[in-house]
């Protein structure tokens, strides 16, 4: 009787994930799902030695390649190209000036030749010189009209169903979910609340210097072409420190640009979860890692292996990629 | 009967603030208390034409002079002076180098002569070159030990009881309360959660550029001496735009450094509340405005009058200044 009384709470604890409705139905019963469920249980069950107070349950997620697709190119770059075309009538000189000419003529070779400098000029011309509100309107308009070249779907539908479930699950367990990503902060705010349930104040990204000024007696915050913060690599723990002021207990990324965020998360005291989405599914999404120009995953993959971080094998661990796909039937486990 | 049925909900609505326990007991029944209660009711009662969804109930507060005292000098400056004294043994050259010599010798005249440049050197020497975590530890240690020269109280007790009640009241009505202040973000995070119930991620202030680096295989975020953002004047709407990404519906300040934040808040659509704490109480706190070197209130006071913003007359509208004072008895209204 005594031993049964002692054993009961333990049994209840162990069986909790089985008895409750599955919070991650699009995840196969693999090692990643197990590590997520086990971690969340460990830090949320009161009395557990790994218990973390709700206020300190900070979870950070990269966006491109972690919450939505980043192929064949970062969606924000495709937005910038489309904006060059939309804005071209106001800039007749673009017809004869690189890199704009290359965009207007779909000249991939000339565009590639313009390199990172060319890309930054395109970003500057399409992302700055307007108020933040006007820029977000531009991004929202594009998201309504533009379609992904492979799936024909709006870009903000090319989000990962398993990650949506994870975000929802974490929030149901009183986690505060943040996006910490190299994308432009305002660009991500144009869709993050609707797509992911992440409100504007929990979106952290790359920022331009802004300037408060009056325009016809109306105050505005204008985006200038000067970069304020590049939220990639070491910029991620730096912005987490500046904006959140707490160290996350969970971090998820998919590329070497997320390595420092994962290291920063891992180095805190107590129980932590570090995860990588590994793009291994050439059929349903894309397969790429160490040699990809977009979302290169090389050093972070090595470190994940030596540090026993969670590496999600997209092909074998995700039942479904996008919300618009039918759910795959349960396999016999 | 019909008219009574119609009238009842209206009567209930009108009598709500009277029936409920007074959420602002340290405020006299004056114009400021009335405007706060009336505003909150207007934006929170469902069906009201001014109704604002909980997620959009963003309230921003300046800190120095709005939530805590800023006399005889900004408390953070007093912290910096004490830090110069604590750190002096590691910097023997400070004994003979201005402005440090002036601080070590309590030489007010030499310190005044060193001007803003001198002050910035003192801030740099005491606020940077360490990790954010180490800096916050320094601030917390100081807050435990240091005492205010006039009251003999710890600085983090020299907070305004009426403003604490307002913060609590707003949060009880599903507002998200932010600090947006010229003070160093990490310095304010050292006490804001305990003193005001404002968590680190809702504290926005002046920032130094930080650098993620490894120190003995341990990742750290180090504060460099380069200013990243000066959160004063136009810097306030700029940081609200960058960090929160939503326009506040309520803003409270006390000086010209808050003017642009109030203008930015006022210019949004729908119902808004803009407020100023006017330091009019030389007996219980300090009395200063247009000619004060600390917390000058001049242009913002003019604008508050023409725009009918809420101006809190501290002497006549606050029953109590600090939490450590006994509550003043209710006056006959």
pLDDT tens, position by position, A209-251: 999 999 999 999 999 999 999 999 999 999 999 999 999 999 9
Query: Are A68 and A75 spatial neighbours (Cβ–Cβ below 8 Å)?
Result: yes
Q: Please count the other Cβ atoms lying within 10 Å of the Cβ belonging to residue A109.
A: 7
**Do A90 and A211 share a domain, yes or no?**
no
Question: Does B108 reside within a domain?
Answer: yes
What the block records as the tokens of B306 is 């023409």
> Of B245, B247, B269, which to mutate for an interface test with A (greatest number of A Cβ within 10 Å)?
B245
Average pLDDT in the A8-36 region? 75
**Do A58 and A177 share a domain, yes or no?**
yes
pLDDT of residue A98: 96
**Do B170 and B56 share a domain, yes or no?**
yes
**Do A26 and A122 share a domain, yes or no?**
no
CA distance A136 to A142: 10
Query: HEC profile for chain B?
Result: CHHHHHHHHHHHHHHHHHHCCCCCCCECCCHHHHHHHHHHHHHHCCCCCCCCCHHHCEEEECCECCCECCCCCCHHHHHHHHHHHHHHHHCHHHHHCCCHHHHHCCCHHHHHHHHHHHHHHHHHHHHCCCEHHHHHHHHHHHHHHCCCCCCCCCHHHCECHHHHHHHHHHHHCCCEEEEEEEEEHHHHHCCHHHHHCCCHHHEEEEEEEEEEEEECCEEEEEEEEEEEECCCCCHHHHHHHHHHCCCCCEEEECCHHHHHHHHHHHCCCCCCEEEEEECECCCCCCECCCCCCCCCCCHHHHHHHHHCCEEEEHHHHECCCCCCCCCCCCCCC
Please tell me the total count of domains within chain A: 2
Q: Considering chain A, what is the average pLDDT of its residues?
A: 93
**Do B241 and B290 share a domain, yes or no?**
yes
Name the residue facing B237 among A219, A228, A235 (closest C-beta): A219
Band (A271; pLDDT cuts 50, 70, 90): very high
A45-73: pLDDT as tens digits: 999 999 999 999 999 999 999 999 999 99
A304 by DSSP, 3-state: which?
Answer: helix
* pLDDT greater than 80 at residue A1: no
CA distance A57 to A9: 24
**Do B115 and B55 share a domain, yes or no?**
no
**Do A54 and A94 share a domain, yes or no?**
no
What phi, psi does B206 have (nearest 5°)?
A: -75, 140
Question: Does A199 reside within a domain?
Answer: yes
| Cβ-based contacts under 8 A for chains A and B | 84
Average pLDDT in the A147-152 region? 97
Put simply, the answer to whether B210 touches A260 (Cβ < 8 Å) is no
Name the residue facing B219 among A176, A199, A237 (closest C-beta): A237
List residues in chain B touching A: CB distance below 8 A.
55, 58, 132, 176, 185-186, 189, 199-201, 203, 207, 210-213, 218-219, 221, 228-229, 234-235, 237-238, 241-246, 260, 263-264, 267
How large is the C-alpha radius of gyration of chain B? 22
**Kind of pairing between the strands at A218-229 and B176-184:** unpaired
pLDDT of residue B327: 74
Question: Does A129 reside within a domain?
Answer: yes
DSSP assignment of A151-219, as one string?
T-S-GGG-B-HHHHHHHHHHHHTTPEEEEEEEEEHHHHHTTHHHHHS--GGGEEEEEEEEEEEEETTEE
pLDDT of residue B326: 85
Put simply, the answer to whether B237 touches A221 (Cβ < 8 Å) is yes
| Percentage with pLDDT > 70 across chain A | 92
A138 by DSSP, 3-state: which?
Answer: helix
Average pLDDT in the A306-328 region? 94
Among residues A113, A145, A177, the one where a domain terminates is A145
Which helix (H) or strand (E) element contains residue A228? strand A218-229
CA distance A39 to B73: 48
Judged on CB neighbours under 10 Å (0-12, 13-18, 19+), A46 is exposed
A75-97: pLDDT as tens digits: 999 999 999 999 999 999 999 99
Of the two residues A195 and B20, the one the predictor is more confident about is A195
**Do A67 and A82 share a domain, yes or no?**
no
A226 by DSSP, 3-state: which?
Answer: strand
> Of B54, B60, B221, which to mutate for an interface test with A (greatest number of A Cβ within 10 Å)?
B221
Put simply, the answer to whether A241 touches B221 (Cβ < 8 Å) is yes
Contacts 24+ apart (CB under 8 A), A22-27: A23/A165, A23/A168, A23/A169, A23/A172, A24/A162, A24/A165, A24/A166, A24/A169, A25/A165, A25/A319, A25/A327, A26/A161, A26/A162, A26/A165, A26/A318, A26/A319, A26/A320, A26/A327, A27/A162, A27/A165, A27/A317, A27/A318, A27/A319
Band (A329; pLDDT cuts 50, 70, 90): low
**Do B63 and B125 share a domain, yes or no?**
no
Q: What residues of chain B lie within 8 A of the CB of A132, using their CB?
A: 241
Q: Which residue of A has its CA nearest to B240?
A: A201
Question: Does B93 reside within a domain?
Answer: yes
Question: Does B288 reside within a domain?
Answer: yes
- Which is nearest to B284 in space by CA: B332, B331, B328, B330? B328
Query: Are A70 and A285 spatial neighbours (Cβ–Cβ below 8 Å)?
Result: no
* Residues present in chain A in total: 333
Instruction: Please report, for residues B23, B121, B169, the alpha-carbon distance to residue B41 in angstroms, rounded to integers and kept in the order given.
Output: 12, 47, 11
Above 0.95 for ipTM, yes or no? no
Which helix (H) or strand (E) element contains residue A299? helix A299-307
**Do B60 and B120 share a domain, yes or no?**
no
Rounded to a whole number of angstroms, the distance from the CA of A32 to the nearest CA of chain B is 26
Question: Does B111 reside within a domain?
Answer: yes
**Kind of pairing between the strands at B273-278 and B310-313:** parallel
**Do B285 and B296 share a domain, yes or no?**
yes
DSSP assignment of A43-112, as one string?
HHSTT-TT---GGG-EEEE--BTTTB---SS-HHHHHHHHHHHHHGGG-GGGGGSTTHHHHHTT-HHHHH
Residues A318, A323, A324, A330, CA torsion sign: positive
pLDDT of residue A327: 74
Put simply, the answer to whether A212 touches B243 (Cβ < 8 Å) is no
What the block records as the tokens of B90 is 């590691």
Name the residue facing A241 among B176, B210, B264 (closest C-beta): B210
Average pLDDT in the A283-302 region? 97
Of the two residues A1 and A259, the one the predictor is more confident about is A259
pLDDT of residue B328: 65
Question: Does B84 reside within a domain?
Answer: yes
Band (A126; pLDDT cuts 50, 70, 90): very high
* pLDDT greater than 70 at residue A7: no
Could you list the pLDDT tens digit for every one of the 333 residues in chain B? 444 445 444 444 444 545 569 999 999 999 999 999 999 999 999 999 999 999 999 999 999 999 999 999 999 999 999 999 999 999 999 999 999 999 999 999 999 999 999 999 999 999 999 999 999 999 999 999 999 999 999 999 999 999 999 999 999 999 999 999 999 999 999 999 999 999 999 999 999 999 999 999 999 999 999 999 999 999 999 999 999 999 999 999 999 999 999 999 999 999 999 999 999 999 999 999 999 999 999 999 999 999 999 999 999 999 999 999 987 655 544
Rounded to a whole number of angstroms, the distance from the CA of A188 to the nearest CA of chain B is 11
CATH number of domain containing B163 = 3.40.50.1000
Q: What residues of chain A lie within 8 A of the CB of B221, using their CB?
A: 237-238, 241, 264
**Do B171 and B51 share a domain, yes or no?**
yes
Query: Are A63 and A179 spatial neighbours (Cβ–Cβ below 8 Å)?
Result: yes
Full residue range of the structural domain in which residue A91 is found: 75-145
* pLDDT greater than 80 at residue A194: yes
Put simply, the answer to whether A221 touches B211 (Cβ < 8 Å) is no
Q: Which residue of A has its CA nearest to B264?
A: A219
Q: Which residue of B has its CA nearest to A217?
A: B267
Question: Does B251 reside within a domain?
Answer: yes
């Amino acid at each position: 009787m005594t031993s049964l009384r002692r054993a009961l709470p333990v049994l209840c604890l162990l069986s909790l994930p089985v008895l409750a409705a599955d919070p991650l139905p699009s995840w196969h019963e693999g090692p990643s799902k197990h590590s997520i469920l086990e971690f969340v249980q460990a830090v949320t069950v009161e009395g557990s030695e790994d218990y973390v107070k709700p206020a300190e349950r900070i979870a950070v997620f990269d966006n491109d390649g972690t919450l939505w697709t980043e192929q064949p190119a970062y969606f924000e770059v495709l937005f910038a190209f489309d904006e060059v075309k939309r804005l071209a009538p106001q800039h007749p000189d673009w017809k004869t000036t690189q890199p704009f000419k290359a965009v207007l003529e779909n000249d991939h070779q000339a565009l590639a030749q313009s390199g990172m400098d060319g890309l930054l000029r395109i970003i500057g011309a399409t992302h700055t010189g307007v108020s933040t509100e006007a820029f977000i309107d531009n991004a929202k308009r594009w998201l309504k009209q533009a379609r992904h070249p492979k799936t024909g779907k709006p870009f903000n539908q090319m989000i990962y169903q398993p990650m949506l479930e994870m975000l929802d699950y974490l929030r149901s367990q009183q986690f505060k979910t943040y996006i910490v990503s190299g994308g432009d902060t305002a660009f991500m705010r144009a869709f993050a609340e609707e797509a992911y349930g992440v409100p504007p104040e929990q979106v952290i990204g790359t920022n331009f210097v802004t300037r408060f000024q009056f325009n016809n007696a109306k105050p505005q915050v204008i985006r200038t072409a000067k970069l304020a913060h590049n939220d990639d690599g070491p910029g991620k723990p730096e912005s987490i420190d500046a904006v959140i002021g707490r160290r996350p207990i969970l971090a998820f990324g998919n590329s070497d640009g997320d390595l420092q965020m994962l290291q920063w998360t891992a180095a805190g005291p107590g129980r932590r979860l570090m995860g990588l989405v590994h793009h291994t599914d050439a059929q349903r999404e894309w397969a790429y890692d160490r040699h990809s120009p977009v979302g290169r995953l090389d050093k972070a993959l090595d470190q994940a292996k030596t540090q026993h971080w969670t590496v999600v094998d997209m092909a074998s661990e995700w039942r479904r990629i996008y919300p618009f796909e039918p759910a795959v039937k349960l396999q016999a486990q």
